[in-house]
């Protein structure tokens, strides 16, 4: 089960297809990929190329039909649903295109959510959340609900939520897709900082070449296959 | 740790109009549920508290109520001489022969006729029934055609107030006093002189003998001796048990009919809660997907939505209960089937009814919430995250 620490994601011959009625639609075909620890990887490609599906599988949200997938030392294809949920909570921080903050919770409570799944005390949780919000520059707005924040601020809260439990991997799906140019730049700057200063491994799906330019490695997918 | 309860609470607050409407529907059913229990409880309390713990009642065997019972003077004399009977300060045994007859009187406000219990007794019965006291006028004089009316009768029937006159048994009877029996059944009776009433109704028998025991523990030997005596064919009951038995049939009927109707109405409230919760799940599909992505398990999602439904029903339950508690101010007058006489009583709320009502409300919340919560818990993460 264990893999050498220098590679955080190891994928071999991964395949995924969807079934629509009698029709089988292949989404990913024989993907093999290795992502070293601390890499900032951008996955690019046209709509329907399978990049989000690949990200979802690597992050433990979806399952592959076949192939081998080891993430952070765990072969996640063999995990049951409850174990996979616990693995996600420990290992992956998520950033979504539309931020996906819980509207009825404050910024502080949104960031605290992943920590509710850890054995940390209330006091410890508070200090972790304060640190994460400080890092994204939103500590002053901790009691605001998402509707009281701009899009860029909401995405920064989502980034704080993604990193508060100190995950091994950050999975970002179009993190700048819903932001104006300035906000997008701030978010990308933050991701680059997380990667450079804190050594976080980031896998980012994006359409935006400017976003991809901030990544250390860019891979293109087309029709479910990686293009060299 | 599971998804915090504040998440469920705030979601209810965010859609407060829907919450209020759904909880209002539940409150209506809960109100009905609590009111039925309070009605039955009020009836029981009124009749059970009518009896005193150290009093016993001798009746003809198998008679359900005093109006059906007949005791001859010989039988009454045997009962009165039992050694378990307490004596008053003058050494007189606290045993009271009584005759109970039903008469028809006209209710106030053109509400038609109603049956009223007339009890032939003596002023001694006031000493034996300590919960009964005169609140106006005076006690009837022995040997006269004077009567005292229970306060419900004085208020509820034409001519039954203090100073009024009632015509029955071919005579006119003057109301010289009003008695308050503390909300018990005697509030719905008329009392007069035993011998005057026996003559007027041409009864040469008695309905019952009321006994005060020297101590409550002496009841069993007294009962055994009197019931085993072949001359008597009597039944001896504790006074409280006698009135409890009277309340049983009617209280059970109220409960069964009332609860059956309430349960039928509760189907609507459960469906209302279910629709509200299904809408909540549909509106928050992306949220559910996000929570699951963050690592919350299906069970956590299930519990969060169930908690929301239970909180909704608790809100409805408390509102319904608050409304029902106001019913304690309402007084109901109806025919007691055991005696066919008019009996007035209040709705009565007890801690047990509060708990039963809240359990009923939470039961509705659980039934209404379980399917939507299961739906939320079963959502596929990827599909949930893609939802519009």
Reduced 3-state DSSP string for chain B: CCCCHHHHHHHHHHCHHHHHHHHHHHHHHHHHHHHHHHHHHHHHHHHHCCCCCCEEEEEECCCCCHHHCCECHHHHHHHHCCCCECECCCCCECEEEEEEEEEEEEEHHHCCEEEEEEEEECCHHHHHCCCCEEEEECCCCCCCCEEEEEHHHHHHECCCCCCCEEEECCEEEEEEEEEECCCCHHHHEEEEEHHHHHHHCCCCCECEEEEEECCHHHHHHHHHHHHHCCCCCEEEEEHHHHHHHHHHHHHHHHHHHHHHHHHHHHHHHHHHHHHHHHHHHHHCHHHHHHHHHHCCCHHHHHHHHHHHHHHHHHHHHHHHHHHHHHHHHCEEEEEECCCCEEEEEECCCCHHHHHHHHHHHHHHHHHHHHHHHHHHHHCCHHHHHHCC
Residue A59 within a domain: yes
At residue B4 the predicted structure's pLDDT band, cuts being 50, 70 and 90, is confident
B286 → chain A, closest CA residue: A100
- Picking from A63, A64, A84, A100 by the largest number of B CB atoms within 10 A of its own CB, the best residue to mutate is A100
Q: How far is CA B106 from CA A45, B153, B378, in A?
A: 93, 10, 66
| A116 located within any domain | yes
Per-residue pLDDT, averaged over B320-342, amounts to: 81
Q: Which residue has the higher pLDDT, B80 or B109?
A: B80
Three-state secondary-structure class, residue A214: coil
CB contact under 8 A, B293 and A88: yes
Q: Minimal Cα distance from A55: which residue of B?
A: B382
User: Which of B291, B293, B297 is facing A61, going by the closest CB pair?
Assistant: B293
Residue A2 lies in a domain: no
Is the Cβ of B56 closer than 8 Å to some Cβ of chain A?
A: no
Q: At A159, is the secondary structure helix, strand, or coil?
A: helix
For chain A, the residues whose C-beta falls within 8 A of a C-beta of chain B are 56, 59, 61-62, 81-82, 85-86, 88-90, 94, 96, 98, 100, 102-105, 109, 113-114, 116-117, 161
**What confidence tier does B111 reach under pLDDT thresholds 50, 70, 90?**
confident
Instruction: Note whether B366 contacts A: Cβ–Cβ < 8 A.
Output: no
For helices A181-198 and A151-163, angle between their N-to-C axes, nearest 10 degrees: 20
State the ipTM, two decimals: 0.94
Average pLDDT for B346-373: 95
Contact A85 B7 (CB under 8 A): no
Q: Which two tokens stand for residue A6?
A: 């220098």
Q: Do B10 and A105 touch (CB under 8 A)?
A: yes
**What is the pLDDT, as a whole number, of residue A164?**
96
Between chain A and chain B, the number of residue pairs with CB atoms below 8 A apart is 64
The pTM of this model reads 0.78
Q: Which residues of B touch A113 (CB under 8 A)?
A: 291, 294
Q: Is residue A1 part of a domain?
A: no
The Cα of B303 is separated from the nearest Cα of chain A by a number of Å equal to 15
Q: What is the pLDDT of residue A62?
A: 95
pLDDT at B339: 66
Provide mean pLDDT across the span B25-31: 94
Q: Which residues of chain A have pLDDT under 50?
A: 1-4
Element spanning A196, H or E: helix A181-198
Partner residue opposite A89 with nearest CB, options B7, B286, B295: B295
CA distance A198 to chain B (A): 21
B160 touches chain A (CB under 8 A): no
User: Which residues in chain A have Cβ-Cβ distances shorter than 8 Å to B293?
Assistant: 59, 61, 88, 94, 100
Say which residue the tokens 């304060």 belong to: A130
Q: How far A197 CA lies from chain B's nearest CA (Å)?
A: 24
Write out chain A residues lying below 8 Å of B385, CB-based. Answer: 61, 96, 100
Predicted pLDDT of residue B338:
66
Q: At what angle do helices B239-283 and B16-48 cross, to 10 degrees?
A: 170
Q: Which of A62, A89, A104 sits opposite B294 (nearest CB)?
A: A89
Residue with tokens 């250390």: A216
Closest residue, chain B, to A84 (C-alpha): B295
- Pair of tokens at residue A138: 């939103």
What pLDDT is recorded for position A16? 95
CATH at A154: 3.40.50.300
> Are the beta carbons of A96 and B385 separated by less than 8 Å?
yes
How does DSSP classify residue A7? Answer: E
Collect all residues of chain A within an 8 Å Cβ-Cβ radius of residue B2.
116
What residue numbers bound the domain in which A98 lies? 7-227
Which member of B2, B11, B381 has the closest CB to residue A61?
B381
Instruction: Indicate the SS3 state at residue A30.
Output: strand
Chain-chain contact of B293 with A105 (C-beta, under 8 angstroms) = no
Q: Is the dihedral of CA B302, B303, B306, B311 positive or negative?
A: negative
- Measured between CB atoms, which of B11, B295, B385 is closest to A88? B295
Q: Radius of gyration over alpha carbons of chain B, in Å?
A: 29
Is A87 a domain residue?
yes
Nearest CA in chain A to B296: A85
B14 has a chain A CB within 8 A of its CB? yes
Comparing alpha-carbon positions, the chain A residue that sits nearest to B13 is A104
Answer whether B309's CB lies under 8 Å from B372's CB.
yes
Residue B387 in contact with residue B289, Cβ under 8 Å? yes
Of all residues in chain B, the one with the smallest CA distance to A63 is B382
CA angle A94, A96, A98 (to 5 degrees): 150
Q: What's the pLDDT score for residue A3?
A: 46
Task: Decide if B308 touches A, using CB distance below 8 A.
Answer: no
Non-local CB neighbours of B257 within 8 Å, separated by 6+ positions: none
For B136-157, what is the mean pLDDT? 92
- Output the average pLDDT for chain B: 90
Pairwise CA distance, residues A191 & A131, whole Å: 16
Q: Does residue A34 contact residue A43 with C-beta atoms inside 8 Å?
A: no
How many domains does the structure of chain A reveal?
1
Cα–Cα distance measured from residue B24 to residue B326, given in angstroms and rounded to the nearest whole number: 17
Q: What is the structure's pLDDT at B296?
A: 96
pLDDT in tens, B180-198: 987 778 888 999 999 999 9
Question: Chain A: residue nearest B11 by CA?
Answer: A104
């Amino acid at each position: 089960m264990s893999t050498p620490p220098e590679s955080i994601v190891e994928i071999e011959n991964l395949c995924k297809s969807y079934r629509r009625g009698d029709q089988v639609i292949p989404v990913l075909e024989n993907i093999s990929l290795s992502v070293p620890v601390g890499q900032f990887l951008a996955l690019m490609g046209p709509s329907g190329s399978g990049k989000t599906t690949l990200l979802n599988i690597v992050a433990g949200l979806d399952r592959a039909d076949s192939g081998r997938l080891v993430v952070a030392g765990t072969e996640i294809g063999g995990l049951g649903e409850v174990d996979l949920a616990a693995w996600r909570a420990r290992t992956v921080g998520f950033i979504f295109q539309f931020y996906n903050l819980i509207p009825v919770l404050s910024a502080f409570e949104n960031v605290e959510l992943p920590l509710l799944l850890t054995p940390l005390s209330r006091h410890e949780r508070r200090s972790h959340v304060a640190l994460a919000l400080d890092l994204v520059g939103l500590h002053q707005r901790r009691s605001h609900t998402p509707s009281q924040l701009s899009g860029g601020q909401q995405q920064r809260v989502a980034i704080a939520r993604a990193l508060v439990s100190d995950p091994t991997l950050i999975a970002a799906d179009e993190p700048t897709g819903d932001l104006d140019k300035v906000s997008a730049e701030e978010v990308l700057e933050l991701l680059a900082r997380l990667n450079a200063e804190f050594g976080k491994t980031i896998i980012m799906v994006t359409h935006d070449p400017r976003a991809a330019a901030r990544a250390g490695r860019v891979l293109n997918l087309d029709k479910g296959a990686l293009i060299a | 740790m599971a998804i915090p309860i504040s998440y469920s609470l705030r979601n209810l607050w965010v859609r407060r109009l829907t919450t209020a409407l759904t909880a209002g529907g539940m409150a209506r059913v809960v109100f009905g549920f609590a009111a039925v229990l309070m009605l039955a409880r009020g009836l029981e309390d009124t009749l059970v508290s009518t009896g005193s713990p150290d009093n016993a009642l001798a009746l003809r065997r198998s008679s359900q109520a005093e109006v059906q019972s007949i005791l001859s003077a010989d039988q009454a004399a045997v009962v009165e001489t039992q050694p378990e009977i307490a004596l008053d300060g003058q050494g007189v045994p606290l045993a009271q022969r009584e005759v109970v007859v039903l008469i028809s009187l006209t209710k106030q406000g053109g509400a038609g006729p109603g049956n009223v219990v007339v009890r032939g007794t003596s002023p001694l019965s006031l000493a034996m029934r300590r919960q009964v006291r005169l609140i106006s006028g005076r006690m009837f004089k022995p040997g006269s055609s004077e009567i005292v009316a229970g306060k419900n009768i004085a208020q509820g029937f034409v001519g039954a107030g203090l100073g009024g006159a009632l015509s029955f048994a071919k005579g006119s009877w003057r109301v010289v006093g009003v008695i308050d029996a503390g909300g018990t059944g005697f509030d719905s009776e008329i009392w007069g002189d035993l011998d005057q009433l026996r003559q007027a109704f041409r009864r040469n028998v008695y309905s019952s003998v009321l006994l005060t025991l020297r101590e409550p523990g002496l009841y069993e030997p007294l009962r055994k001796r009197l019931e085993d005596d072949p001359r008597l064919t009597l039944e001896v009951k504790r006074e409280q048990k006698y009135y409890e038995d009277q309340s049983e049939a009617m209280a059970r009927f109220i409960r069964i009919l009332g609860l059956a109707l309430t349960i039928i109405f509760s189907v609507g409230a459960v469906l209302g809660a279910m629709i509200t919760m299904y809408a909540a799940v549909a509106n928050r599909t992306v949220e559910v997907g996000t929570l699951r992505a963050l690592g919350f398990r299906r069970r956590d999602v299930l519990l969060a939505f169930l908690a929301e439904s239970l909180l909704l029903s608790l809100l409805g339950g408390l509102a319904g209960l608050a409304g029902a508690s106001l019913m304690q101010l309402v007084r109901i007058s109806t025919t007691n089937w055991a005696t066919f006489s008019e009996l007035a009583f209040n709705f009565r709320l007890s801690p047990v009814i509060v708990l039963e009502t809240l359990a009923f409300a939470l039961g509705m919340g659980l039934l209404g919430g379980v399917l939507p919560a299961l739906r939320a818990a079963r959502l596929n993460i990827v599909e949930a995250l893609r939802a519009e």
